[in-house]
Structure 1
């Protein structure tokens, strides 16, 4: 790790720029409140899947960040190694795998209004 003004070393190009996930469709139409409930349940149980709580917290913050450049900073500062640029598969520096479902990263194309 270098200082703020340092440049990456040659060959240190394994850091991937994150991007928004591709549009996706839930198996059935879903409301915003149902989506939020699914997200809350995932994040409440995520640390039980293994890995470090700090990495899960960083991934949650990055997933909730609408500004991709800020999300990139969060991921980079946490030392997250991005496998898929949409954050669906990541690793920490110890090699633990973190899998995020698309519903925590974006909204489905078939979302309906709450009543």
Structure 2
């Protein structure tokens, strides 16, 4: 019998279902345009943090998709989801991928552009 946390390490096929991130608040009210700029900057620079570009591409596609499609994307890319909201993931080689909440959902204090 293994310990409770050993199931992922065994590779027994358990898949963590992804879910929407919990509501969060940006330090200051932010416009949709500014949020999109932050997201674009993150995705443009993400491959420079390490890991494989194809995994970053899959994570971006998953972040921008609905939950059902996002689950299919991470499963087919071989992404190991540690945090169900996709904030912490790994690839099959063990490289860590951290996603900020602003690329996964909108803050509660989002200001609509006029």
- TM-score, normalising length: structure 1: 0.88
Cα offsets for 1:19-55 (capped at 9, x unmatched): 0000000000000000000000000000000000000
What stretches of structure 1 move > 4 A for 4+ residues in a row? none
**Superposition deviation, residue 113 in structure 1:** 1.5
* Alignment partner, residue 13 of structure 2: 12
Q: Which has the higher helix share?
A: 2
RMSD: 1.1
Pairs aligned (count): 104
Structure 1, unaligned runs of 5 or more:
1-9
Which residue pairs with 1:62 in the alignment? Answer: 62
TM score, norm. by length of structure 2: 0.89
- Shift of residue 11, structure 1, vs aligned partner: 3.5
What are the ranges of 5 or more consecutive residues in structure 2 without an aligned counterpart?
1-10
In the other structure, the counterpart of 1:95 is 94
